[in-house]
Amino acid sequence: MSIMRDNQLAKRNVAVLICAQAILGAQMPMIFTVGGLAGQSLASNACFATMPISMIVLGSMITASPLSNLMQKFGRQFGFFIGALGGLTGGIVGAVGLATGSFSIFLLGSFITGIYMSAQGFYRFAAADTATASFRPKAISYVMAGGLASAIIGPQIVKVTADSMVIPFLGTYIAVVILNFFGSFLFLFLKIPKLEKKNINTLDSRSHRQLVTTPRIAVAMICAMVSYAMMNLVMTSTPLAVVGCGYSPNDAANVVSAHVIAMFLPSFFTGHLIARYGEELIVGIGLFFLAFAGLVALTGVQLENFFIALIFIGLGWNFGFIGATTMLTNSHSESERGRMQGMNDLFVFGGVTVASFSSGGLMNCTGGDHLTGWTSVNLAMFPMLAIAGVALIWLLQNKKPSSNKT
């Protein structure tokens, strides 16, 4: 009876988080589509075109641990409201940067938007908070599936708003402000009990060092970081590459839309696959998909190459990231939740930050043309994918019966 009650609450929270992922999450494909193009129009040096995207990821990395601690102390609802406020404020500041032609103000807005991106990253953990062990991978997967709607909504809003005002992309950032304002009301329906203080300070809680040196946790973090960072590395440069190779901004939006659909569509069944075949196999398939995407991108710059490569980048991210997230949530106790999840996202978004900063430099400053830059971006994936693959194989070879602490 207790399990049924827990899953009923979990399903209610999952429904709220799916809606938040769909509505509030739409701002991320919007910003990732226009951020680099807007940066290119404002920056004095083309090498800094993707800086707005990089600043979002940097803001997300810096705020991940503080936001996790706030959620541990005051609850998920409080943290998600802060995230929406960050998205709203970032949208306003970004719009001011565009209106005044100030690249520095635009970058500040992007950095503040990172607060929202960080909060969105915790939707998946919130889905697991009230779920039983058997429902947990499905709960995480279903919430991630909400991104499918955002993948459709976001790029369509870009098409309507990008040129709706005299200043390009200003309408898109105003739309971001509106999304955050109305979307934040969803969290009024979220019901995730705060951890009691006595449960937060239990004696069995491991230190940061003990957690990060636990083999299963370490490999989960490596695979999550590589899956997310390599996806971001390629996606950040994609609009610049598509437009630079002679296609239109609408083509770039369509490619990004297909990519984000591929990121989230499998989530309807990823949880079932994890429950049936295990996290390690699904993560391994994700890494393979990412490598295949890189190979497709290296074979040419026809529009279909962009579509196929970005679709497989999305699939690889889905399998790799959701599988690694499930592996992580099954490897720490409730009392370790805030510490572990904050540290995980610090590492994950730290890797994504490096990838995002690297993306612009590789794309615009490694050969003088878009084809050479796009080649450099995709070649850069393979060393990191090899590291994650070796780590996963090592874990499988040394696998012992799991000591699930949840």
Q: What is the pLDDT along the chain (406 residues), one digit of tens a residue?
A: 344 455 788 888 899 999 999 999 999 989 888 887 888 788 877 777 778 888 998 898 888 888 888 888 888 899 999 999 999 999 999 999 999 999 999 999 999 999 999 999 888 888 888 888 778 888 888 888 888 888 788 888 988 998 889 898 999 999 999 999 999 999 999 888 776 554 445 445 666 677 777 888 889 999 999 999 999 899 888 888 898 888 887 888 789 888 888 988 888 888 889 888 988 999 999 999 999 999 999 999 899 999 999 999 999 999 999 899 888 877 766 666 667 777 777 788 788 888 877 887 788 777 667 788 899 999 999 999 999 999 999 998 887 544 444 4
Q: What CATH class has 2-397?
A: mainly alpha
Res 326: pLDDT: 85
**Identity of residue 270:** T
Q: Which residue has the tokens 């709960």?
A: 139
Cα–chain-centroid distance for residue 47?
A: 24
Distance CA 185, CA 175 (A): 16
Res 367: pLDDT: 67
Evaluate whether 95 touches 109 at the Cβ level (below 8 Å): yes
Res 387: pLDDT: 95
Evaluate whether 71 touches 338 at the Cβ level (below 8 Å): yes
Res 43: pLDDT: 81
Helix spans in 162-278 (H): 170-183, 197-200, 208-212, 215-244, 249-264, 267-277
Structure tokens of 324? 């690694």
Structure tokens of 365? 């400053």
Closest CA to 31 of 157, 217, 144, 205: 157
Res 405: pLDDT: 43
* Residue ranges of domains in the chain: 2-397
Distance CA 224, CA 220 (A): 6
Distance CA 168, CA 344 (A): 37
Structure tokens of 296? 């497709």
Distance CA 216, CA 319 (A): 17
Evaluate whether 95 touches 173 at the Cβ level (below 8 Å): yes
